[in-house]
Structure 1
């Protein structure tokens, strides 16, 4: 299931022209209007950008933990273990991330 996570995310988000992909954190990051939405980690985990306001609720979900990158906790970013990512859970994580990232202004291209 580890290798198919990017394809599962693509199937959920469809052909939204506002979604792009870049390589980041050893996996693939899906960007909404240039802002990070969700991503895949090389160990099969999902990275979801849920923001500060949704973080406490997100951390109560199965398989969820705050992202720690190079020894530093990243508030508003949650990692979800692959064992907790059935299709329904994946949809819910993408929806939660979209609730936070969707209202952000688009990033200007450099």
Structure 2
């Protein structure tokens, strides 16, 4: 399994105070589950964020973001974010916040 260790550590640091957090190896990467729901994952140099259907289209307009496609199916509510989309601290924090906010709606 190949993951960007720097990105992995950034995500771990961002989620350090989150309750009910689990780190699991999934889909050839590492997934952070919050309240037993997929929230943020990392695979190679990209981050997958579960942002929800209502935020999906707006997220796709952001720099470095593209739809998550599993098999041949586009997974509405999930996006991949490449380095140009999370490199800036503020952008990274926005993605984490979007994923955590959606996760709270699932409780």
Same-fold call, TM cutoff 0.5: yes
Partner of 1:70: 71
5+ residue gaps, structure 2, are none
5+ residue gaps, structure 1, are 106-110
1:30–1:39 Cα contact (<8 Å) kept: yes
Aligned residues: 104
Question: What is the DSSP-based 3-state SS (H/G/I as helix, E as strand, rest coil) of the residue aligned with 1:4?
Answer: helix
Moved more, 92-101 or 80-89: 80-89
Partner of 2:16: 14
Question: What is the DSSP-based 3-state SS (H/G/I as helix, E as strand, rest coil) of the residue aligned with 1:98?
Answer: helix
Q: Does 1:30 align with 2:32?
A: yes
Mapping 1:38-77, distance limit 5 Å: 38-41=40-43, 43-77=44-78
1:67–1:73 Cα contact (<8 Å) kept: yes
Deviation (angstroms), 1:82 = 1.7
TM-score (structure 1 length as normaliser): 0.86
1:2–1:82 Cα contact (<8 Å) kept: no
Deviation (angstroms), 1:38 = 0.5
1:67–1:77 Cα contact (<8 Å) kept: yes
Q: CA RMSD in A?
A: 1.5
Structure 1 stretches of 4+ with a deviation exceeding 4 A read: none
Higher helix share: 2
TM-score (structure 2 length as normaliser): 0.89
